[in-house]
Amino acid sequence: MEEQVKKVDHQNHEEGAINKVSNPEIEEETLIFLDSLDHYLVLIDSLSNSLLHQGWMELAGARYSMGASRVNSALLNLQPHSAATTVEITHHQDGSLTKSPKFNLCKWASPDNKDSSLEKENIEEDEQLKENISSQRDSGNQESSPDSSIESVTNASPRESNGSEINASPRKIENPLQKERAKVLSMFGTLVSPKLRASQLTFETALETLVEIANARSSILKSYEALHRDMKSTQE
Amino acid sequence: MYGFEAMTFNIHGGYLEAIVRGHRSGLLTAADYNNLCQCETLDDIKMHLSATEYGPYLQNEPSPLHTTTIVEKCTLKLVDEYKHMLCQATEPLSTFLEYITYGHMIDNVVLIVTGTLHERDVQELLEKCHPLGMFDSIATLAVAQNMRELYRLVLVDTPLAPYFSECITSEDLDDMNIEIMRNTLYKAYLEDFYQFCQKLGGATAEIMSDLLAFEADRRAVNITINSIGTELTRDDRKKLYSSFGLLYPYGHEELAVCEDIDQVRGVMEKYPPYQPIFGKLSYGESQMLDKAFYEEEVKRLCLSFEQQFHYGVFFAYMRLREQEIRNLMWISECVAQNQKSRVHDSVVFIF
């Protein structure tokens, strides 16, 4: 009886030693899992409570300004065309047994567009555009103002002076991203309200958030599997 | 002769002026809007509207309601009232009433042409057309490949035919050409309407000149702002401005070279009637400009009812009803999207 008790004590002592070694790893995995979950929940909240609502309200505002005949589903283009934005999925094998997919958004990089590196070349201007919009929202404007954003983008390139004569030659749009956005919006007409442009940017941001959510979800699943594996190995 | 309309107007126009003034008293008040803004669902909106003149048009609509349904039924009421006035009107009032609908006709033409370019079904497009802008051969627009065919096959027999002289080309219809066609047609229509009102003379000419000039100026500002950052050249932009209005011609010269909203503000603030409008906006902002313009327009339209024996009351009533329908659309959208805090962003009170 005493020998059996001693054996059990010895086993418990060994298990305790094993647990003391693997606990930090499990704790780390647990923290990674909880961080991923928190990030995921924050993204879900921002998408549903602010971005999508903002986008739909801006679209309603554009309909109010331009009229129902100019902003309606009957104008959507049914001609065959490739997607303006695609999602690439890459699988990373990072030394562990699991493959975690990573989602990358390729904006305005359709096969119809000959310049496939549009996004990389103009990413700074795109980020500047988004920063201007977020600063407009923070300063108390209820809706974003792409006019000032467009102004900041055009400020990045040389401008004619205000006193110049009317230029009869076509003014090229220096930002190819802006050109692609205008091309997509042209189904509603080429002279559209700034509210419609703002809603386009908002939905674009929502798309980026969706991809981030997908990546966060992938990270959650990966960290959950690692945690589950570690806990299983310690129990064995 | 101006000032003597009181002697002869009521012979032909008295009945209809009384009718339109009666319709005016049926416009929704601030109390109605306050009740509507507190609705939780679209069915609540329907319930509140059942106590107004829109009641008979909405009572048979089944739940769940959609915002487009509310707008369509309210528009039907406007169309019924317009048709009643048109069939009772004699010349020149009947021509004046027809002029009011040409803007919707242009919008419908552009909708059909654009939708056809995007390979949409014609029946689906016809359902989206504004009922005030319908004409017999509108479905045939889907056949045209360029503007010349558009004119020759369909529009030559419509009231829009005279407005096509400036935009007949053999170029294929694409998004930019359609946009230029829309604005060119609308410019020609406004100028023709303006000339027609001038010929009528008297109080009609005086009041309608002010209202149409404001419309032309607002269009110029909107074209300028909407064309910032697009491929529209300065020359093309200037060609779309109307040849009348407070901004014509020097304001147009300055607007044509504007490259951002602040430059547009700088131009408009030189004109005293437009200073209060742009004074409501902060620098770099253009989102509230539409509401500011609509508020100014409503103010001018309401003032036209202060004078009698002129046709401006008919134009004013139609425009006020359209603003009311826009208000109802916005309130419905805010309620449907659970964004009631944004209701007062765009609602323009009429009374």
Q: Is pLDDT above 80 for B138? A: yes
Question: What are the C-alpha distances in Å from B82 to residues A105, B16, B55?
Answer: 52, 11, 18
pLDDT of B90 > 70? The answer is: yes
pLDDT reported for residue B2? 61
Residue A215 and residue B203 in contact, taking contact as beta carbons nearer than 8 Å: no
Q: State the burial class of residue B108 (Cβ atoms within 10 Å of its Cβ: 0-12, 13-18, 19+).
A: buried
Question: How many CB atoms lie under 10 A from the CB of residue B1?
Answer: 7
Distance CA A128, CA A151 (A): 11
* Residue A9 pLDDT grade (very low, low, confident, very high; cuts 50, 70, 90): low
pLDDT at A199: 94
The Cα A7–Cα B184 span in angstroms is 97
Average pLDDT of chain B? 91
More confident residue, B4 or B208: B208
Contact residues, chain A, for B235 at CB < 8 Å? 166, 168
| The amino acid at A26 | I
Inter-chain touch A190–B179, beta carbons under 8 Å: yes
Q: Is the pLDDT at A19 greater than 60, yes or no?
A: no
Q: pLDDT at position A12, please?
A: 56
Residue B143 domain-assigned (yes or no): yes
pLDDT at A96: 53
DSSP B297: H
Query: Interhelix angle for A176-185 vs A194-235, to 10°?
Result: 100
In tens, the pLDDT along A134-151 reads 554 444 443 333 333 333
Is A189's CB within 8 Å of B182's CB?
Answer: yes
Q: DSSP per residue over B193-261, as a string?
A: HHHHHHHH-HHHHHHHHHHHHHHHHHHHHHHHHHHTTSS--HHHHHHTS-S-STTTTHHHHHHHT--SH
Q: Is residue B287 less than 8 Å (CB to CB) from chain A? A: yes
Flag whether pLDDT at A209 surpasses 90.
yes
Mark yes or no for CB contact B233/A193 under 8 Å. no
Would you say residue B2 lies in a domain? Answer: no
Nearest to B24 by CA among B343, B347, B306: B306
Chain A CB contacts of B263 under 8 Å are: 162
In whole angstroms, give the CA distance from residue A219 to residue A102.
Answer: 9
Return the number of other C-beta atoms located less than 10 Å from residue A57's C-beta. 22
Residue A162 pLDDT exceeds 70: no
Q: What is the pTM of this model?
A: 0.83
Domain ranges, ordered by start, for chain A: 23-73+100-108+182-235
Whole-number pLDDT of residue A164: 35
Cα separation, A216 vs A102, whole angstroms: 9
**Residue B181, both tokens:** 């066609």
Question: Which residues on chain B are in Cβ contact (under 8 Å) with A190?
Answer: 175-176, 179, 230-232
Chain A contact for B178 (CB, 8 A cutoff): yes
Q: Is the pLDDT of residue B195 over 90?
A: yes
pLDDT at A173 exceeding the cut of 50: no
Chain A residue with minimum CA distance to B256: A166
Binary contact (A198, B329; C-beta < 8 A): no
pLDDT on residue A10: 59
Q: Say if B263 is an interface residue toward chain A (CB within 8 Å).
A: yes
With tokens 């070349």, the residue in question is A121
**CB pair distance less than 8 Å for A64 and B119:** no
| Signed CA dihedral, B343, A140, A58, B114: sign only | positive
pLDDT of residue A129: 56
A17-26, B67-76, B175-184: which has the minimum mean pLDDT?
A17-26
As a whole-number percent, the residues of chain A with pLDDT over 90 amount to 22
Which residue segment(s) compose the domain that B175 sits in? Answer: 89-185
pLDDT at A161 over 80: no
Q: Can you tell me the mean pLDDT for B41-66?
A: 92
Q: Which of A191-200, A227-236, B133-142 has the lowest mean pLDDT?
A: A227-236
Q: Please indicate whether residue B305 or residue B351 has the higher confidence score (pLDDT).
A: B305
The DSSP annotation for A93-153 comes to --SSSS-EEEEEEETT--TT-S-TTHHHHTHHHHHHHHHHHHHHHHTT-SS--HHHHHHHH
Helix (H, G, I), strand (E, B) or coil at A107: coil
8 A C-beta contact, residue B47 and residue B335: no
Q: What is the domain count for chain B?
A: 1
Task: Identify the residue with better confidence: A57 or A159.
Answer: A57
pLDDT for A139 equals 44
What does the pLDDT read at residue B248?
A: 93
Examine the pLDDT at B299 and tell me if it is beyond 60.
yes
Report the pLDDT averaged over residues B190-213: 96
* Interchain pair B287, A170: CB under 8 A: no
CB pairs under 8 A between A and B: 160
**Out of B118, B183, B282, whose CB is closest to A75?**
B118
* HSE of B293, CA atoms in CB hemisphere, 13 A: 18
Sign of CA dihedral B58, B64, B70, B72: negative
Note whether B179 contacts A170, CB cutoff 8 Å: no
Report whether pLDDT(B167) > 90. no
B350 pLDDT band (50/70/90 cuts)?
Answer: confident
Task: Output the pLDDT for position B315.
Answer: 97
Q: How far is B195 from chain A, CA to nearest CA, in Å?
A: 26
Residue B22 lies in a domain: no
Which residues of chain A have a CB within 8 Å of the CB of B252?
none
Q: If you average pLDDT over every residue of chain A, what do you get?
A: 72
Q: Do the Cβ atoms of A173 and B231 come within 8 Å? A: yes
CA B99, chain centre distance (Å): 12
- The residue of chain A nearest to residue B104, with distances taken between CA atoms, is A69
B257 contacts in A (CB within 8 Å)? 162, 164, 166
Cis peptide before B273 (omega within 30 of 0): no
Q: What is the mean pLDDT of residues B141-152?
A: 83
- Complex-level ipTM: 0.91
Q: What is the pLDDT of residue A22?
A: 55
| Block residue for tokens 């998004």 | B175
A190:B124 CB<8 A: no
CA distance to partner chain A, nearest, from residue B266 (Å): 12
Chain B residue with minimal CA distance to A132? B284
pLDDT surpasses 80 at B317: yes
The Cα B138–Cα B150 span in angstroms is: 11
Length of chain B: 351
Over the stretch B6-36, which tens digit does the pLDDT of each residue have? 889 999 999 999 999 999 999 999 999 999 9
Q: What per-residue confidence (pLDDT) applies to A5?
A: 55
Q: What percent of chain B has pLDDT over 70?
A: 97
B151-173 average pLDDT score: 80
The CA distance from B301 to B285, in Å, is 26
Q: Is B234 on the interface with A (CB under 8 A)?
A: yes
For residue B258, what are the contacts with CB-CB under 8 A and spacing of at least 6? B224, B228, B264, B267
Contacts of B114 in chain A (CB under 8 A): 75, 187, 189
Q: What is the pLDDT of residue B170?
A: 64
Share of chain B above pLDDT 90, in %: 74
Q: Which of B286, B288, B334 should we substitute to test contact with A (largest number of A Cβ atoms within 10 Å)?
A: B286
**Is residue A203 a contact partner of residue A101, using CB atoms and an 8 Å limit?**
no
| For range A153-171, the mean pLDDT | 36
Residue with the bigger pLDDT between B119 and B313: it is: B313
Query: What integer pLDDT is reported at residue A181 of this predicted model?
Result: 86
Q: What is the CA radius of gyration of chain B?
A: 21
**Strand partners for A147:** none
The answer to whether B81 contacts chain A (CB < 8 Å) is: no
**Mind listing the pLDDT tens digit for each residue in A27-53?**
888 888 899 899 999 999 999 888 999
